[in-house]
Structure 1
Amino acid sequence: MNRPAITLCFALAAASLALQGCAVPQPYVPPTPTSTQIRPPVAPPTSVGNEVAIRAISLLGAPYEWGGNGPTSFDCSGLVRFIHDQLGIFVPRTAAEQYSAATPVEVSDLEPGDLLFFKIKGRISHVAIYTGEGRFVHAPQTGRPVELRMLDDDFYRPRLAGAGRLF
């Protein structure tokens, strides 16, 4: 072999070894933070009301069942009670009892997680969870699953008796 061919062979062998070294996985070692590094922003903690609203939204589509209080089917007050129970908040069972136990809130001051109480047939008999932006989640009646409605709904708006908070 001539000298240029030998040099080429050595060069190819060295390159091959170098490339094999790149293929060996190395454990990741994160950099040690220093006090001068900027840390990413921390998400603000979720308020209880927002958590109530988020959990209500997560149950959209669950079937209605008279007397249902979860985890797979609900009536209106059972939905409210199930969500609050998950958060360690005691809630009475019926819509009328929940209305009596709630701290009143002006409709103009509604926040996510507040409860909306409706008079149907002359008495408080329906409750829903306000989710913000004029919307609420409720378990309406047999044959209709947990759903999202607008506060200005033609059926519900004239029947709105008040609002309250249980947290």
Structure 2
Amino acid sequence: MFGASLLAAAPAQAAAPAQATVAAAPMAAAQARVSKERAARQKKRANYAVRYAYKQIGDPYRYGGTGPRSWDCSGLAGGSWRKAGVKLPRTTTQIYRAVRHKVSRKRLKPGDLVFFYSGRSHMGIYVGKGYMIHAPSSGKRIKKVKLNSYYKRVYNGAVRPGL
């Protein structure tokens, strides 16, 4: 009798996971829609941040500059994303830590923030096709540059704000 009750119970237990999977399918589809909506909203904000960064090309670099007439590297990134509706911390290291969505160099999209050097002491805004806009250093102006072999050598991560 004991053996028969185990046999009778087994099919009912085996059927339960299949029913749970069917019930979970609509929830997974809803999560996928939310992800697509979030991704679309992030892309729109990223495009706005990139357009704003382009408008700053030619402005002077100033240590601690947060705009609108002079910038440092993190000030430019923060100012561009702030105009797009996303608030970022002030410094490069704070920004890297605060933005949870990390991105590999091979998966960069316009609007991603790219970081350089071992202490992540410099950053730029990736604008697509292997280029970034950044505030280089004292005495220089905001400019668009190619992520050439030098920047690839000192590259130290990227994040995608706005997700």
Q: Normalised by the size of structure 1, how large is the TM-score?
A: 0.68
Contact 1:105 1:165 in 2 (8 A): yes
Counterpart Cα distance in 1 of 2:126 and 2:61: 18
Partner residue, 2:48:
51
DSSP-derived class of the 1:104 partner: coil
Greater share of helix residues, 1 or 2? 2
| Structure 2 counterpart of 1:140, from 125, 128, 136 | 136
In the TM superposition, 1:108-127 aligns within 5 A as: 108-119=106-117, 122-127=118-123
Larger radius of gyration: 1
| Structure 1 counterpart of 2:65, from 64, 68, 74 | 68
Counterpart Cα distance in 1 of 2:116 and 2:124: 8
Shift of 1:153: 4.5
Q: 1:104 to 1:54 in 2, by over 3 A?
A: same
The RMSD of aligned alpha carbons is: 1.7
Counterpart Cα distance in 2 of 1:84 and 1:49: 7
Kindly provide the amino acid, as one letter, of the partner of residue 71 in structure 1.
P
Shift of 1:76: 0.2
1:54-85 Cα deviation digits (max 9, x unpaired): 11111100000000000000000000111111
List gaps (5 residues or longer) in structure 2: 1-40
- The answer to whether the aligner puts 1:160 opposite 2:158 as a matched pair is no
Identical aligned residues as a percent: 37
Contact 2:60 2:70 in 1 (8 A): yes
Kindly provide the amino acid, as one letter, of the partner of residue 163 in structure 1.
A
List gaps (5 residues or longer) in structure 1: 1-44
Q: Normalised by the size of structure 2, how large is the TM-score?
A: 0.70
Shift of 1:88: 2.0
Contact 1:116 1:129 in 2 (8 A): yes
Contact 2:50 2:80 in 1 (8 A): no
Contact 1:80 1:129 in 2 (8 A): yes
Contact 1:64 1:142 in 2 (8 A): yes
